[in-house]
Chains A and B, each alone.
Chain A
């Protein structure tokens, strides 16, 4: 087909339209959508309302976003290039993801717009069935492609946010804090995966040497759960610390973790565990020979 080479230039992935009459049809279609912009946009907004989508947004925001989505939509139909839409969708996702908008909502509104516009085309061309078919031939691939682009951009943006959060959690990592002479605290916040557990061991063992620690309190109040590999890794870390001359006190074992440890049969006989961090610190101070007493309340 001769027309093919022309369309391919514009956008490689864009499916070429199989007929010369489409080249006149699309501008016609776009003109129609522009002409009835207000009515169709309102119809669309009403259907979004009916489907209870985007309820996290105020009506004003909705109006603003639907208008720009509509304009972008028509523009893609006109130019056949989704690049601008991609940018817009990513931008939009960036704004609405923190508001708690879900993937199904974003895909839902774009599909609704597709349907609203399709209906208006049915209405316009209902008298001429073959023409309607050709119009739909032109419209449908473009519309599907738009829906696809928006969904992919949204998911991409979401994944980017998740990756970013994972990175910042990893950076927070596991600080080794000296609280008294030769006493270290290791608060563990968040999920302990194998990688973090490995990092923790490394930091703990080198911390023991740098701070000449005799007692280490590992507080896992902030860890929601551990799996078998991580539990065993913790036990090995405790053993290795002992080999370096430091005793380890583990505090803040949640009922869930305690249950996990017992169920998977981790050998806990050598583990010194104490209910909470306060108790752990008191025990550590006792081991190190510190006594902490409140200063007399009476002024000098």
Chain B
């Protein structure tokens, strides 16, 4: 737990969780991050998750698959996921390699991600 806290921070902001990945994670760290985040959704009764990957200058196929899985699991637990801050190089590399985040929403940065969840919240109504 200690190591993953240093690499990733998961903050609570109202009914949202904001998870910032600070550095490239290896596979086991990614899985630990996934486990922690999914658990925290239940703990905080969150309905929105923002994963900020702005600090990453590379995202491999396992990474993007894990992000997709997190989004899917979060949806099953009642929270919408949005990935923010994908760098230009990373975005193009992901597309070049045929990886994509599937149906997961993306936004330019944290601010846009919050706005996106807020808009959705208005339509969905209070929980």
Size category, B interface = 10 to 19
Q: A169 to B96, alpha carbons, bound, how many Å?
A: 27
For the complex, is B43 an interface residue (Cβ under 8 Å from A)?
Answer: no
Stretch at the interface among A97-105, A151-159, A184-192, A239-247: A239-247
Question: Shortest CB–CB separation between residue B89 and chain A, in angstroms?
Answer: 8
Q: A240 to B106, alpha carbons, bound, how many Å?
A: 10
Chain B 77-113, CB-CB to A under 8 Å as 1, else 0, gives 0000001101011111011100011000011110011
For the complex, is A163 an interface residue (Cβ under 8 Å from B)?
Answer: no
Which residue in A212, A213, A214, A241 is a CB contact (below 8 Å) of B91? A241
Are A244 and B86 interface neighbours, CB within 8 A? Answer: yes
Are B94 and A246 interface neighbours, CB within 8 A? Answer: no
Query: Which residues of chain B from 59 to 82 have a CB within 8 Å of any chain A CB?
Result: none
Chain A 279-291, CB-CB to B under 8 Å as 1, else 0, gives 0000000000000
Which residue in B83, B95, B109, B113 is a CB contact (below 8 Å) of A240? B95
Query: Which residues of chain A from 237 to 262 have a CB within 8 Å of any chain B CB?
Result: 237, 239-246
Residues of B within 8 A of A119 (CB): none
What 4 A-B pairs have minimum CB-CB distances, sorted nearest first?
A: A205-B88, A245-B107, A245-B108, A240-B91
Are B108 and A201 interface neighbours, CB within 8 A? Answer: no
Are A244 and B91 interface neighbours, CB within 8 A? Answer: yes
Are B108 and A239 interface neighbours, CB within 8 A? Answer: no
Residues of B within 8 A of A208 (CB): 88, 108
Q: A213 to B83, alpha carbons, bound, how many Å?
A: 16
Chain A contact residue count (CB 8 A cutoff):
19
For the complex, is A236 an interface residue (Cβ under 8 Å from B)?
Answer: yes
User: A209 with B92: in contact, given A243-B86, A243-B101, A244-B86 (CB under 8 Å)?
Assistant: no
Are A239 and B100 interface neighbours, CB within 8 A? Answer: yes
Are A205 and B107 interface neighbours, CB within 8 A? Answer: no
For the complex, is A206 an interface residue (Cβ under 8 Å from B)?
Answer: yes
Q: A165 to B92, alpha carbons, bound, how many Å?
A: 30
Residues of A within 8 A of B100 (CB): 239, 243
Are B96 and A236 interface neighbours, CB within 8 A? Answer: yes
Are A209 and B88 interface neighbours, CB within 8 A? Answer: yes
Q: A203 to B79, alpha carbons, bound, how many Å?
A: 35
25 A–B contacts, CB within 8 A, in A order: A201-B92, A205-B88, A205-B89, A208-B108, A209-B108, A212-B108, A212-B112, A213-B108, A214-B108, A236-B92, A237-B92, A239-B100, A240-B92, A240-B95, A242-B106, A243-B86, A243-B94, A243-B100, A243-B101, A244-B108, A245-B106, A245-B109, A245-B112, A245-B113, A246-B108
